[in-house]
Each structure stands twice: as structure tokens, then as C-alpha cells.
Amino acid sequence: MTGQAASPVPVRVRAPGKVNLALCVDRLGDDGYHRVISVFQAVSLYEDVLASPADELSLTVAGLQAERVPTDATNLAWRAAELLAAHAGVEPAVALHIVKGVPTAGGMAGGSADAAAALVACDALWRTNLPREELAELAAELGSDVPFALVGHTAVGTGRGHEVTAAMTLGEYHWALGLRDEGLSTAAVYGAFDDAGGGAGDWDDEPPTDLMQALRAGDPAALGATLRNDLEEHAIALNPALAEAVRVARLAGALGVVVSGSGPTVAALGRSAQHALAIAAAMTAAGVVDDVATAVGGVPGARVVGGIGA
């Protein structure tokens, strides 16, 4: 066993959801995966994971769309606890409680945030004291978005999206998020992308130059003009109502609008916090979304906010 005896003190860890400023997707490879280049930005919608001492592994969920979240071994947070325990040579004895603030199946990586938070929380609770680099390796085994949830802020993901490098950015960015009660299956969206022959062009191993320049300059208007998601048209084909949310956000003066990840969350970039609120109000008034939120990016990745090390 790595580290000391487990702590009797519960640990609370907070991890952010994300929007994809760019999601560039290559054709399906022979290995069954797509190469992607994703520019992630962590935003201030959060998942909280409370890890408490227990005799065995258990999981409960509360908060936004909690009824849609599994509480068994199919949950990424559960899998994260099991993976860390096996790696560190400890018993997976922990009671995990998730408080959700990120939409489920919304393209904002709420499940990945849960997994990252569970890794950090269990590492603190069990005092396994793994370096962040080692946690990141475990995170990559759990899913392609999990390593970014550890890092946060703004970063570039390559490979399957799991190889994460921090991006140079200035300023903060204000988002209006159009949410839907019914999620979209990532597998279904990628399947539609493949069926349409997606990714058939030349592949560039670098993130979009104009987008990265906008981030380095701290220029929201330039960033808005360069938002990109190669899956967007396929997400809209599966859920045509998304097109109306995109249209309304643009009419409200958004600097740029993009479907986040595989959708169905529509992310609209505002000029300011007040403008983001106005865009959200326009989407609500038009009845094109089920709910709205506003958020700022980029915020830190998974971190302890209560208990040990807080």
C-alpha cells in the first residue's frame, strides 16, 4: 500500500464541466478510435464528489438530473475509485456522494469531472499520495476527457483527446449555455459522423492557429469567430431543435455559438457576464431550450475544497 493509513475525515473535491472551443475529428482509425484535437475550456459549472470512510464502495447522487446517473460499477466515479485502489494496493472502501451541477449527457463531460474528482478525493482520503502525473495516467484509462478535468483552465487535447497540454490564454470568457433535458449519445453522434464520411480530408496535427492566437491575445470576439466542432452538424441532424437554439443565440449577438462536444448543450460566447445573461434570457424566451445557465471560463481543474488539504 502506498502512503499512510486512511483518513477518518471525509474529503470534498470539486471538478468543472467543459466546453469544446474546437473539436477536430479525424476519420475512424483501424484501431476503432478517432484521432481528435480538442481545445477544452473548463467552465464554472461544477461536480462535487464527497468521499467518506466506509467498509465498502458505494455511490449516491444528488443535484441536476441526478435520476439519470447510474449508481453502480458503470459510473465513472465508481470505476475511478476501483482503478485507484487496484493501482495503489488498497481496498476500495469509500462512500462516494456526487452533487451534480453539469448536465448529464450534455457534451460537457460531467461524468469525466466525476471521475477526476473521485480520483483526487480517494487519493486524499486513502493517503495514497500519488503525483498528479500518475493520477493523469489513471485518468486516461477511464476516458478521453478525464485528464482534462484534472487540469482545467484551457488546454489542448490530442490523441483520443486524453493527451493534455495547457494552452496560453489571457482574460476570462463568459458563456450562455442552452441545456436540454434529453441528452445525446456520444456513440450515436460519432456513428452519424462516420456514416457521413466524416474526417475524410487531410489531417492537421495542430489545433486551429487562429483560435489559439485569439486565446493568447485574450480576444473574445476573435475567439467567437473561430469556434469549431466537426460533430456539430451530426448532433443537429440527430436533434434538429438544436439549430433553433444556435440561431436564437446568434440573433442575441453572441460572439460565437457552438454545440459543445457531442451535444446537446449549446454554448454561446458573450461579450461580458451581462451579455451572457441576455443571451440566456433570449434562448429561454424563444422556448428553444429546456433550461439555461451562465458560466465563466477557464477555471481550475479538480481540487480539494473540503476536508483534507482544503
pLDDT in tens, the chain (310 residues): 444 566 678 999 999 999 999 999 999 888 888 888 999 999 999 999 999 999 999 999 999 888 989 999 999 999 999 999 999 999 999 999 999 999 887 889 999 999 999 999 999 999 999 999 999 999 999 998 999 999 999 999 987 667 899 998 999 999 999 999 888 888 999 999 999 988 877 788 889 999 999 999 999 999 999 999 999 999 999 999 999 999 999 999 999 999 998 889 999 999 999 999 999 999 999 999 999 999 999 999 999 998 765 6
pLDDT at residue 308, as a whole number: 65
Cα angle 183, 196, 228; round to 5: 60
pLDDT at residue 1, as a whole number: 43
In angstroms, rounded to a whole number, what is the distance separating the alpha carbons of residues 130 and 49? 18
Per the residue annotation, which of 48, 114, 123, 145 is the catalytic one? 145
Q: What is the CA radius of gyration of the chain?
A: 19
Place of cell 471560463: 297
In angstroms, rounded to a whole number, what is the distance separating the alpha carbons of residues 251 and 96? 43
55: Cβ contacts below 8 Å, ≥ 6 apart: 93
Cell numbers found for residue 65: 438530473
pLDDT at residue 287, as a whole number: 97
The whole-model pTM stands at 0.91
Contact 49, 15 (CB under 8 A): yes
Binding residues for ATP: 103-113
In angstroms, rounded to a whole number, what is the distance separating the alpha carbons of residues 76 and 301? 17
100 belongs to the catalytic site: no
Q: What are the backbone dihedrals phi and psi of residue 258, each rounded to the nearest 5 degrees, phi first?
A: -150, 145
The domain made up of 11-167 is a member of CATH 3.40.50.720: no
72 belongs to the catalytic site: no
Contact 124, 84 (CB under 8 A): no
How many helices and strands, by DSSP H and E, does the chain display? 10, 12
Contact 224, 173 (CB under 8 A): no
In angstroms, rounded to a whole number, what is the distance separating the alpha carbons of residues 276 and 173? 10
CATH: 3.40.50.720, 3.30.70.890, 3.30.465.10, 3.40.50.1000. Which one for 173-297?
3.30.70.890
Same fold, 11-167 and 173-297: no
Contact 101, 123 (CB under 8 A): no
CA–CA distance from 136 to each of 127, 147, 298 (Å)? Answer: 17, 5, 19
pLDDT at residue 9, as a whole number: 86
Contact 9, 121 (CB under 8 A): no
Pick the closest to residue 292 from 304, 301, 307, 282 (CA basis): 282
Type and span of the H or E element at 18? strand 11-28
pLDDT at residue 2, as a whole number: 46
165: Cβ contacts below 8 Å, ≥ 6 apart: 155, 156, 157, 158
Domain ranges of the chain: 11-167, 173-297
